[in-house]
Structure 1
Amino acid sequence: MTMFLTSPGEECFCRDWHGCIMAQSIVGLENVQPYKFSECSRSDYIDALRIGHGICLLNKPNELEVRRTCGNSIVEEGEDCDCGTIDECHELDPCCDPITCKLTKEAECASGPCCNNCRLEARGVVCRDAANECDLAEHCSGENGQCPQDIHKKNGNPCGGNTGYCFTGVCPTLNIQCEQIWGYGELEGATFSNIEPSYSYKGTIL
C-alpha cells in the first residue's frame, strides 16, 4: 500500500538526510536505511486522509486470508492429503488424488502409522510402542491414519522396582540420576538420615 504518496525526486527530496522513504532505492546514501518521509509524501498522506482513503488503515480484517494450493505438499484446510505434483504422487502416495488433494475413491487414508496400503489399520493395533515402564503404548483408532498423541503413565506411579516414581514419562531413580551427573557406575550413597546429626530442642548437637 502506498497511500498515493509521491516518490521523492528533484522537486521533492529530503534535506540533510541519507534519503527518503518511498524513494526509488530502498537503500539511501552511504548504505544508510532511510527512516523519514519527504514533505511531499507527508502532504500527500494528509490529502489522502482528508478524502477518505485512510479507512483502509482502520478496517482491520477479522482473519487472515489463507491461499490454499493443491500440490504444494502441505495438507491445508479442506484437503485430505497433498503429495505434491502428479509425478510425485504416483511415486510417493497413490492414495491421494493430486488434482483434488482428496483421497482416491478406493482409499480410506493417505498416510500415517495406522494407514497400510491406503487402508485403515484395525482399531487396537499398536502404532507406537511404550518407550519405557512409565510410558504407554498407543493404538490405532480405526478411524484415522495417524497415531494418537503420545501419552504416559500418571506422575507418581512406582517404577524401577519401587526405587523411583514416574515423572513426565520417565523413571528418575536415584541411581539413574547419579549416573547422569557423576558418570557410569555411580550409585546413591548413604541417605541423609544416616549421617545427619541429631539436635535438641535448644539447638545444641547431641
Structure 2
Amino acid sequence: LAAAARADATALRDLAEVRVRLLLDTLVDAGTALRDELALPPAGRMPADLVAPGVAAPAPRGTSRGRAAQDPALLDDLLALPRPHLLVDGYNVSKLAWPDQPLAEQRRRLTERLANLAGRTGAEVTCCFDGRDAGEHGTERSGPRGVRVLFSHGEIADDLLRRLVRAEPPGRVVVAVTSDRALGADLEAAGARVLPSATLLARLGRV
C-alpha cells in the first residue's frame, strides 16, 4: 500500500509539473505572438534609463505585423484599414521612377497608376506637386478619376503636404509617401504614417 501511495503521489506530482509546464509554454507562445502582432521593438532600455537626466531618444515606431517600411505589404495593410487617406509627394516619387521623362509625363504615369490603386483599395488619394500647370483652386482638372491632384501656390509642395496632414482629424489613417527625411519627420510628428517612395513604386508595379 505504501508503494502504491508513493506511486500515486509521484504520478500526481508529474501531472502537476506537466500542467504547469504546459501553462507556461502557452503563456510564452501567446506573449511571443502578441509581441509579433504589435511589432514591439526589443527592450533596449531599462526603466532606470528613463529616469536619468536628459532627453531620452524616441522608441522605434512599430509597423503593422512587424513589417518594415520598405515592405509593400505594409502599404496594403494600411490601405485596408477603414477610410485611409494616401498622400503622395508627387515629384519625389516620379523623379525616382522616371528620372529621364519630362515632368508632364512623370505626372501622367504616376497619377494613372495611383488611380488604379485608388480603384482597387477605395482609399482617398491625394498627389501633390510643386506649383505649375495648376488648374482651378490648385487642383489639376485633367487628373484621373479617384486621384486628387494638387499643385502648390505660394509655397512648396512640402508645405502643402504638411497642411494636408494637419487638417486630418486625430485617429484617421493617413499614409504619406516621401523619401524626404525632413518632410517625413514633420508629417510623422503630425500623425501620418510615412513610407518611402520606393515602397509605393513597388506596390504600383503590381497594380
Name the TM-score, length of structure 1 as normaliser: 0.20
Give the helix-richer structure, 1 or 2. Answer: 2
Looking at both structures, which has the greater relative contact order when contacts are Cα pairs under 8 Å and sequence separation is at least 6?
2
